[in-house]
Amino acid sequence: MQDIQAKIRHLPQSAQKVRAVIDLVRGKNANDALEILQFVNKRAASPVQKLVASAVANAEENFGVSRDDLYVAKITADEAPTRKWRRFGARGRFKPILRRTSHVTVILRERGA
d(Cα 12, Cα 17) in Å, to the nearest integer?
11
Phi and psi, residue 50, nearest 5°: -60, -35
All domains of the chain, ordered by start, with CATH? Answer: 4-110 (3.90.470.10)
pLDDT value of position 2: 81
pLDDT given for residue 27 in this prediction: 94
- Series of mean pLDDT values for 10-residue runs along the chain (113 residues): 90 97 95 96 96 95 93 96 91 92 96 72
Enter the DSSP assignment of 53. Answer: H
pTM of the entire predicted model: 0.90
Question: How many residues does the structure list for the chain?
Answer: 113
Q: CA-to-CA distance for 13 and 43, rounded, in angstroms? A: 9
